[in-house]
Amino acid sequence: MGLSHSGSMGAATPRRAVIEDAGAVADVLILSRRAAGDAIPAGVHSDAEVREWIRTVVIPQREVWLMEDADSRPLGVLVLDEDWVDQLYVAPACTGMGLGSRLIELAKSRRPAGLQLWTFVTNTAAQRFYLRHGFTVAETTDGSGNEEKAPDIRFVWTAP
């Protein structure tokens, strides 16, 4: 499935992902993470493992939102797990167009009591993004608690 920008970004509407969307959700996560280069440390799981995890764990057990263009091409994914922004990824061709902002606003509307999330210390663009959206730094770690063993930052958001 292609992830290229069709020019119909204005039509992008987040909807709850169902099991049939597992491939599209996985495409966005895998390709976005790969495109992030050094900003996001290499994952410890194969693409096949990621696809299996999305199909058997993430979509059945978590709140998954998929943003698509008018031609049903996947543009962005938001995964909420209790008060955690568990995943937020925009397709590489579509970053910087406001889609991530729409997804984080959706997250706030779904969790008005507050949100938290982890981002890697190396992911400075994401940190800028979260700070602009009212998140603040709660803690910084040496990475010993995550799979990649890479230093990360926990951001929190509380409604003003």
Pick from 2, 23, 60, 98 the residue near ligand COA by CB under 6 A. 98
Among 8, 13, 72, 101, binds ligand COA (CB under 6 A): 101
Spatial distance between the Cα atoms of 93 and 147, rounded to a whole number of angstroms? 27
Going by DSSP bridges, is the β-strand pair 136-140/152-157 parallel, antiparallel, or unpaired?
Answer: antiparallel
Q: Is 128 in the site for ligand COA (CB under 6 A)?
A: yes
Closer residue to ligand COA, CB minimum distance, 40 or 54: 40
Shorter beta-carbon distance to ligand COA: residue 96 or 112: 96
Residue 8 has phi, psi (to 5 degrees) of -115, 40
List 22, 59, 115, 126, residue binding ligand COA (CB under 6 A): 126
Q: How far is the CB of 155 from ligand COA (least distance, A)?
A: 9
Q: Binding to ligand COA by residue 155, rule CB under 6 A?
A: no
Binding site for ligand COA (CB under 6 A): 32, 36, 40, 88-90, 95-101, 119, 123, 125-126, 128-129
